[in-house]
Amino acid sequence: MIASSKMNGIRQVFRAVAAVAVALWAMAASAGDGANLPGGRFMLQAQNGQVVTDQDFRGRYMLITFGYTWCPDICPTALSTMSQAMDELGRQAEQVALVFVSVDPKRDTPARLRDYIEHFHKNFYALTGPKPLVDKAAERYKVVYQVVPAADGDPEAYTIDHTASVYLIGPDGRFRIKFTYNIDPEIMAKRIREIINGGS
């Protein structure tokens, strides 16, 4: 009887440990799935010279894309699309911060970003920073970029191939949806409105 009681006790402990292990595994798997989504912490410098982090956008939606001011077509298209979508949203646009992160910190100074972003919606934050911080932000938002040297060898005339997606991040800092850079602004606005109205 004593041996049997001890065995029962051991089995109960084993079941408890196994249950904890399964719970921890499920939590880890869930965290891993989240880690595969775009989004996360960053600390960069805005066009006004102020330090900005992802925490500054908590409580608002954040529509974010990466690029550079010398970009000939994709970036102007993406920023124009985002701007037009905000116009479509009307007053709800006040709930959305627009963020443009430069992957060209060498040339895109805060002053240049300030002049550049003035051509787009007033809700825009244009961010730059030391390359390691830009790289970390790009990595967390699943953005890949690569400098392409100029054909004539001019070290200042390079272009940059980069991911052109636009990401909507929720007020809680979590990823909501990804848009193509050239999506119809009305469709972008409609989807953002649905997400805002749904409280997600």
- Whichever domain contains 93, its CATH number is 3.40.30.10
Residues 95 and 172 in one domain: yes
**84-98: per-residue pLDDT in tens?**
999 999 999 999 999
Dist CA 11 CA 116 (whole Å): 68
Whether the per-residue pLDDT at 12 is higher than 70: the answer is no
Reported confidence tier of residue 200, pLDDT bands at 50, 70, 90? low
Residues 75 and 168 in one domain: yes
pLDDT at 34: 56
Least confident of 1-15, 82-96, 100-114, 116-130: 1-15
Q: Please tell me the total count of domains within the chain.
A: 2
Residues 110 and 11 in one domain: no
Which ranges of 118-154 would DSSP assign to H, the alpha helix? 131-140
Residues 125 and 166 in one domain: yes
- SS3 state of residue 97: strand
Element (H, E) at 164: none
Residues 9 and 67 in one domain: no
Sign of CA dihedral 133, 134, 139, 141: positive
**56-108: per-residue pLDDT in tens?**
999 999 999 999 999 999 999 999 999 999 999 999 999 999 999 999 999 99
Residues 133 and 167 in one domain: yes
Whether the per-residue pLDDT at 199 is higher than 80: the answer is no
Range of the domain at 125: 43-198
Whether the per-residue pLDDT at 44 is higher than 60: the answer is yes
Distances from the Cα of 55 to the Cαs of 37, 89, 91, 139, 153, in angstroms? Answer: 18, 24, 23, 18, 41
Residues 26 and 82 in one domain: no
Dist CA 172 CA 58 (whole Å): 6
Average pLDDT score, the chain:
86
